[in-house]
Structure formats: structure tokens, C-alpha cells
Amino acid sequence: MEVEDLFKNYGDRVAVGGLNIQVKEGEIFGLIGPNGAGKTTALRVISTLLQITSGRVRVFGLDVDSEPDEVRKIISYLPEDAGAYKNLTGRKYLDFMSSFFASGKERESMLKKGIEITDLADRIDSKVETYSKGMTRRLLIARAVMTSPRLAILDEPTSGLDVINAKEIRDLVKKMSSEGMSILLSSHNMFEVEFLCDRVALINEGVIIEKGTPDELKSKYGVKNIEEVFTEVVG
Amino acid sequence: MSDIGGIIKKELRELLTLQSIIPIMVMALVFGSLGTSFSGMDQASQPPIVGLVDLDGGEYADIVTSTVLNNSDVIYQGISIEEGKQAVRDNNAGALLVIVDGFSSDITDNRSGQMEIYWYMKGTGIMETISLANVNVLMAEINTNLSRAIIADGSGLDANITLSPMVASDNTMVKDKEMDGVNPMVVSAVIDQQNIMMPILIMLVIVLIGGIVISSMGMEKENKTLETLLTLPISRTSIVAGKLIGAAVVGLIFGGIYMIGLGVYLQSFSASTSIDLSQYGLTLDALDYVVIGVMMFLTILSALAICMILGAFAKNYKSAQSLTLPVTLLAMIPMFVIMLSDFSNLSIEFQVLLFAIPFTHPMMAIENLMFDNWTLVIGGLAYNLAFSLATIYVAVRIFKSDVLLTGLGWTREKLRKRMRR
């Protein structure tokens, strides 16, 4: 995925001001930055949700601006505070979502994979409205990755989850990446970023201010972890 | 006390928003103007406007003539029924009163004198029916004056004839149709039974499906499912179409259930006033039903698209509820106006306003088709087709734009800045 000189304005306000990033195939790329830095806006633009003010975004050769329908076939986006249809059971929700990507046996195997990822056992047949936050997030992660997208865009994938649920999701993301899925994620959790990401970019006021592997960044700033890099750069 | 004051302030701030105030103000304005418009049509307190044909010329006919001249505004006085009818139509009068040849001699011979009334209904609304009431008052006055004359003469006629010396047979002219031997109140009652169903049904269906679509959008936003939906590999047009069709099916099912209930309810009033309108050409054929079906479909499509546009601006389920108000208003205004008055009798401003509301057209479709008013029917169909296409286009554009996710916040900010400049 390539983002070249991406600008996104809301009226006179610049939310993203000249973003340049590349995510390689099978790579986990982390976008980190303070609140209001433009992370979610950037992810929404890449996910075809928001229109580009200027610049170019290409996902596996497809242009996000001119070929959004094609892009949506190979990506999956998990918003930070996403929800699922509460009147459906977990199984029916996954089945409904899989219907947009496949049919017949392929759809069945997609659903099976989704159910396995949720690890909800017999609760998969309970209505979503009865799920805890962790269960709902697992269901949504399963929805995002069961379709085997070439690029998964995850906005704060472990936001609001307890330690165990968050670890399970991090392990899942790592596994998906090892299977060849490219992942672009944003997070406030620096430990998570350091653990998961092959490369990270620090964004502030809509602009990338630092970029590299966690080790490169730590060495450059002579600090022990990414949290300190973040404090050095943004603070 | 100050705590309560704070809470009251907070509640008022939340409830008294532009979104909630504007529809109420519009409603008050529309009904205010409607009242002014109807006040011009209220002739109940004024002398009736009638035509008079005297084919008798006898002494009792003279009493009728003098009573009519003293108590009404006579727009035709002569001996031709056809000319009289034309004058009544041309002057929007209430009725043509015809004193039948032999009127005076019948009374003298101890029989009721015959009169014919050609009632003229300018429309089928409640206001048009009320305006006929003062002609009835005039007929009662004629009877009274005839009785007085008979008693003063001391002619010793039968008591029944003395008290009711005149018998009138009713004929009704509705627009360009004529119904011999039929009282206008009966015509009005029967047409109302058929016409009242449509406006109420349309209003109910629109309010129902409007609520469904807008709430669905509000729920998508509240439950945070919209973003996921918009990143699925389906076109925005398909999402809009799917939502429209889903809501239309539910709306039609709900509307059908309401229609059955309403039909049974109205049927209970109809038994005593039934006349067969088909013998006067006031009936619907297969083509008419097809036209009504197409009109309904286009109207529902328009309503859904409007709601989809409004729903796009809902922040959550609660704000979605207040957004249904404009649609409810748009459905209620034509419903009330059409039940009260005929479209052709409204002022030109109101006609334009009603025509511009797509929900008006199916509400008056049955009556227009019955009276072969194809100009309004075809005009309504064309308008509703154009309106539904335009609104669906706007809805799809909104679904393709950022507004769906970001709202109008920054647009308002931009507008404010421009206004400051």
C-alpha cells in the first residue's frame, strides 16, 4: 500500500497534511500519535470512507479514489469503536458479512474460520446484545480477518479490552501477518506497537514526523522503548 | 431550587434546538395561512349564491321568487334550466332552484308544489359541503313563507300541505358530472368514504417508513456499524437501494395492516349512505388502479429517499427521532388540506405548495381519476418520478460523501466564518 502526499481537509482545517507511507506485503505497520493527530482520518481515507482532498493512495495497485469498489474487495477495516448488529447472533452476523465476499462452499469455510477466530464457543449463537465488550471486539476482529483481506486496517484493535483479551487479539494479528496479510494499525498502546509492528510512523498534526522500525527509532533517540521515542518526538 | 433550575436549563437546551423548533414554526405558519385561505371559502354566514328558474309564474311561484331575491345573491333569473346551470357553474354558485311548471296550481289543488334543486359541488372536500348548508336554510325560508301565505289566504288546505307546501327533488352537479335524484350530502359522504382512506393511508405509510429509515440510520450511527457497512465490497448505490427497498417492504406491510383496520372502521359508517357511483361514471377502471399503484410506488420512493437524506444527518437514535418531524409535516399538510378542500378551490399559492409536496399526488389520485382530471394525474406522476429520481440521486451522493460520517459540523463552521467576513 502506498500513500503519497495525502491531504485531507475538513473545510479550512487540515486533518492530514501531506502523509507519505508505504506498507509492504505481510508487514505490520503501526501509525502512532497523540489524540487528534489525524490517525483515524488517514485510516478512513485509506479505507475508502472519506474522500481525498489531494494526493494519492494505492492499495495493491488499485487507486482508492477512482476504484473504491475494487479496493473494498481486498481490504478490511476495523474502526476503533465499531459495533455489530445487536439483534443478530454472532454466527448470523459473521454469515451476513461473509455473504458480501463469497458464496457457496467458500462462504461456509469463511464463516467457519470466523467462528474459530472468535473463540466464542456456544456463545456464538447468542445475540450480540448479550456480549461483553471483549466478546464483541473478538467478533469484530474475526469479521475483519475471516475474509482473508490482503490489507487489514485496524484502528486501535485492542482499545478498551482487558489484558487477556488484548493479548489474544495481538497474537491473532501476529498470526495473520505471518500468513501473509498486510496490516496497518493505529494504537495508543506503545507496548502493543513495539510488540506487533515491523515498522512504525509517528504522526502529529496530520504530518509524519518520524518513521522506521522500532529498533531503529529506539537507537536513533537512545531510549529503551517506543513510549520514550514517542515522548521525545511528540512531547 | 437552583439545582432544579440547572436541570431545567439543561433540558431546555437539549430539547429546544433549531431542529425541533423549525418544524413546529413551519406547521404553525402553514396552518395559519390555511385558515386565511379557507376563510375566503366560508360562505355559511353569507347569503347563498343561487340561480332561479321560474317555469310556473303563478302566485306561489312569486312568493318563492321574492323569498329567493330577498335572502340570497341571485346570479341568474330566467326560464332556461340549461342557462341557469351554466350560470351556476360559471359563478361558483351553490345551486340552481327551479320552480316547476304547475307549482302554484298544485298547491291550490291541495298537493305539494314541486321544485327542483340542481346543487353545485365545487369539490368534494368538507369545506365545499359546508358551503352548501346556507342553500338549505334558504329552502326552509321558502317553505315558511309559502306556509304563511297559505295561512293568510285562509284557503283551508290540508294541514300537511300548509306546513310543507313545497317538495324539492335533488340533483347534484359535481364538477362536470351530473347526478339526477341524488342529494349532494350523500354524494359527499360516499366520495369521502373512498377519498378519506387514501390520504390517511399515505400519511400513515410515509410516517411509518420515514421513521423506519431515519431510525435505521440513527441506529447504524449509534451502534457504530455504519463505517463497517460502508467498507464492504458493495456500491453505495446498492446500500441506498437495499435500505430503501427494505423499508418500503416493511412500510407496505404496516400500511396494509392499517388499511384493513381503517377500511373496516369506515365501512361501519357507509351502510346508510351508499349509492352506486359507477352509474354516474364515478368509478375506477383497471388503468386507474395501475396509475394509483405507480403513484404510490413513486411516492414511497420519494418519501424513503427524503428520509434517507435526513437520516444521514442523524447523530444517533435520539436525534433520528426529531428528524422524522419534517417528513411527518410534509405528509400531514396535504392530508388535512385535501380532506378539507378540493385542490381546484385552493389559492394558487397553496396549489403550488401542495403540488410541490410529492405526497399530495396519491392522496388526490382517486378523485382526479374519478373525475378524469388527467392533467393533474399525469402532472403528479411526472413530478413524483422526477422528485424521486432527484432525491435518490442526492441520497446516493450523500452516501458517497464525507457528510455521512463527519456530519455538517465543519460545513457550519465554514458558513459561520463566511458570514463573519
Asked whether the predicted pLDDT for residue A120 surpasses 70, the reply is yes
pLDDT, residue B376, reads 92
Residue B282 lies in a domain: yes
Question: How sure is the predictor about B146, in pLDDT bands with cuts at 50, 70 and 90?
Answer: very high
Residue B6 lies in a domain: no
Asked whether the predicted pLDDT for residue B39 surpasses 60, the reply is no
Q: Are residues B236 and B302 in the same domain?
A: yes
**Strand ranges of the sheet holding A199-204, from the earlier edge strand across to the other edge:** A75-78, A151-155, A182-186, A28-32, A199-204, A207-212
Shortest distance, CA B344 to any CA of chain A (angstroms): 48
**Cβ–Cβ gap B224/A81 under 8 Å:** yes
**Cβ–Cβ gap B402/A51 under 8 Å:** yes
Chain A residues with CB under 8 Å of B414 CB are 11-12
Q: Please give the average per-residue pLDDT across B252-262, as a whole number.
A: 73
pLDDT, residue B270, reads 53
- Dump pLDDT digits (tens) for A173-193: 999 999 999 999 998 888 888
Question: How sure is the predictor about B2, in pLDDT bands with cuts at 50, 70 and 90?
Answer: low
Q: Answer whether A49 touches B (CB < 8 Å).
A: yes
Residue B133 lies in a domain: yes
**Cβ–Cβ gap B413/A73 under 8 Å:** no
- Dump pLDDT digits (tens) for A45-98: 999 999 999 999 999 999 999 999 999 999 999 998 889 999 999 999 999 999
Residue B1 lies in a domain: no
Q: Are residues B150 and B222 in the same domain?
A: no
Asked whether the predicted pLDDT for residue A232 surpasses 70, the reply is yes
Cross-chain CB nearest to A84 (options B225, B234, B411):
B225
**ipTM of the complex model:** 0.91
Chain B residues with CB under 8 Å of A10 CB are 402, 406, 410
Which range has the worst mean pLDDT, A3-7, A28-32, B24-28, B210-214?
Answer: B24-28
**Cβ–Cβ gap B231/A72 under 8 Å:** yes
Q: Answer whether A77 touches B (CB < 8 Å).
A: yes
Residue B5 lies in a domain: no
- Dump pLDDT digits (tens) for B183-216: 887 777 777 766 677 788 888 888 888 888 888 8
Residue B12 lies in a domain: no
pLDDT, residue B344, reads 81
Q: Answer whether B418 touches A (CB < 8 Å).
A: no
**Cβ–Cβ gap B227/A83 under 8 Å:** no
CATH class of A2-82+150-234: alpha beta
**Cβ–Cβ gap A82/B401 under 8 Å:** no
* Percent of chain A's residues with pLDDT above 90: 69
Q: Are residues B55 and B30 in the same domain?
A: no
Shortest distance, CA B225 to any CA of chain A (angstroms): 5
CATH number assigned to the domain comprising residue B154: 3.40.1710.10
Q: Answer whether B405 touches A (CB < 8 Å).
A: yes
pLDDT, residue B67, reads 93
Q: Are residues B308 and B372 in the same domain?
A: yes
Shortest distance, CA A150 to any CA of chain B (angstroms): 14
Q: Answer whether A137 touches B (CB < 8 Å).
A: no
Shortest distance, CA B289 to any CA of chain A (angstroms): 38
- Dump pLDDT digits (tens) for B357-411: 999 998 888 888 888 889 999 999 999 999 999 999 999 999 888 888 887 665 5
How far, in Å, CA of A221 to CA of B376, rounded? 78
Asked whether the predicted pLDDT for residue B83 surpasses 80, the reply is yes
Which range has the worst mean pLDDT, A135-149, B72-86, B254-268?
Answer: B254-268
- Number of folded domains that form chain B: 2
Please indicate whether residue B58 or residue B157 has the higher confidence score (pLDDT).
B58
pLDDT, residue B97, reads 93
Please indicate whether residue B276 or residue A26 has the higher confidence score (pLDDT).
A26
Cross-chain CB nearest to B405 (options A49, A78, A100):
A49
Residue B97 lies in a domain: yes
Which range has the worst mean pLDDT, B97-101, B147-151, B254-258, B277-281?
Answer: B277-281
Average pLDDT taken over every residue of chain B = 82
Cross-chain CB nearest to A13 (options B224, B233, B410):
B410
**Cβ–Cβ gap B223/A81 under 8 Å:** no
Searching chain B, which residue's CA lies closest to the CA of residue A44? B227
pLDDT, residue B265, reads 64
A residues 82..101 contacting B (CB < 8 A): 82-86, 97, 100-101
Would you kindly state where each structural domain of chain A is located, as residue ranges? 2-82+150-234
Q: Are residues B29 and B67 in the same domain?
A: no
Among the three residues B146, B181, B216, which one is the final residue of a domain in this structure?
A: B181
Chain A residues with CB under 8 Å of B235 CB are 69
Cross-chain CB nearest to B401 (options A51, A73, A143):
A51
Asked whether the predicted pLDDT for residue B292 surpasses 90, the reply is no
pLDDT, residue A130, reads 95
**Residue B271: exposure state from Cβ atoms within 10 A (0-12, 13-18, ≥19):** exposed
Query: What domain range is B134 assigned to?
Result: 49-181
